[in-house]
Amino acid sequence: MNVALTLQHSGPAAPSLYQRSRRAHEAELATIPWLALLSGEDQALVKPEVRVVTAEPGDLICRLGKAPTYWFGLVEGLLKMSNDGSHGPIVTFAGLPPGAWFGEGTLLKREPYRYNVEALRQSAVAGLPIDAFHDLLGRSIAFNRFVLNQLNERLGQFILARETDRLNDPDSRVARNLAALFHPVLYPGVGQLLRITQQELAYLVGLSRQRVNEALRSLQGAQLIQIEYGGLRVLNLEGLRRYPVPPAGSQ
């Protein structure tokens, strides 16, 4: 499908997302959570439609105001969903780790994006054409259930994100943002270990790298996470969600 979404590159002849993309490899297709839910016939129809592009840091996968052409999912890397700051400060809506599929609400309504999705590091991004997305909705009950569950879980995630933005305690903000990145339904590709740097986490949380480092040390001291080379391992996901734990007997 020759519909292209232009990425932000310097120079007059920057290649479009479609021009830079290729057909997905079998190993990449195996990481797509909704694909295994489809019938054999639907899988055979959809697999050739899925394309993958390597996005560089700063590339926009989705751009505010542009019409959607693909349903996107992250195979590898890290993305940030945010506004563009044209009407106030930049607000991060969500971090998107491997396994995340996003933007289904925009595709359902066929309306322009109300947010940007930017690559924070080199990332492999998969895309299913919007027409193939709607075709699946029209014939696959399993696919409908997956999309409905996505919408429901994302609504809960955004409500929690709104609550997190109101927290004055930086340690709590880091804990809640980390918990969101380990969401087992929205981001099944993460598992227990997330490859993320302290600077990338700082971009998502809206704090300095130094303050994020202090918060991570506190969370590690509380035995909620383990800081590893190049990433973070969650030890107590529920503890991150509830951090700080209120004292016993408090209301």
Sign of CA dihedral 111, 97, 201, 239: positive
92 vs 165: CA distance, rounded Å: 10
Average pLDDT over residues 93-121: 93
Q: Is the pLDDT of residue 12 over 60?
A: no
Q: Are residues 145 and 185 in the same domain?
A: no
Residue 50 placed within a domain: yes
Three-state secondary structure of the chain: CCCCCECCCCCCCCCEHHHHCEECCHHHHCCCCCHHHCCHHHHHHHHHHCEEEEECCCCEEECCCCCCCEEEEEEECCEEEECCCCCCCCCEEEEECCCCEECHHHHHHCCCCCCEEEECCCEEEEEEEHHHHHHHHHHCHHHHHHHHHHHHHHHHHHHHHHHHHCCCCHHHHHHHHHHHHCCCCCCCCCCCEECCCHHHHHHHHCCCHHHHHHHHHHHHHCCCEEEECCEEEECCHHHHHHCCCCCCCCC
Task: Output the six-digit token pair for 102.
Answer: 């996003």
181 vs 27: CA distance, rounded Å: 23
Give the sheet arrangement for strand 193-194, strand by strand.
Answer: 193-194, 231-234, 225-228
Q: Are residues 124 and 150 in the same domain?
A: yes
Q: Are residues 136 and 173 in the same domain?
A: no
| pLDDT band, residue 9 (cuts 50/70/90) | very low
Rounded to two decimals, the pTM is: 0.83
Sign of CA dihedral 21, 117, 187, 123: positive
Q: Are residues 118 and 94 in the same domain?
A: yes
Q: Domain boundary residue among 135, 158, 181? A: 158
For residue 113, the domain's CATH number is 2.60.120.10
Would you tell me how many other CB atoms lie within 10 Å of the CB of residue 130?
A: 20
Average pLDDT over residues 47-68: 94
What is the separation of C-alpha 54 from the centre of its chain, rounded to a whole number of angstroms? 15
Residue 56 placed within a domain: yes
Average pLDDT over residues 25-54: 96
52 vs 125: CA distance, rounded Å: 5
**96 vs 90, which has greater pLDDT?**
96
- Torsion angle (degrees, nearest 10) of CA 136, 142, 148, 150: -90
Q: Are residues 84 and 208 in the same domain?
A: no
Residue 164 placed within a domain: no
Sign of CA dihedral 218, 224, 229, 230: negative
Q: Are residues 78 and 200 in the same domain?
A: no
Rg (CA), the chain: 19
| pLDDT band, residue 156 (cuts 50/70/90) | confident
CA of 14: how far to CAs of 6, 10, 86, in Å? 8, 7, 24
What is the separation of C-alpha 153 from the centre of its chain, rounded to a whole number of angstroms? 13
Residue 223 placed within a domain: yes
Print the domain residue range for 147. 17-158
**pLDDT tens for each residue of 191-250:** 888 999 999 999 888 889 999 999 999 999 999 999 998 899 999 999 998 887 544 444
| pLDDT band, residue 88 (cuts 50/70/90) | low
Residue 6 placed within a domain: no
| pLDDT band, residue 185 (cuts 50/70/90) | confident
- What values do phi and psi take at 96, rounded to 5? -125, 105
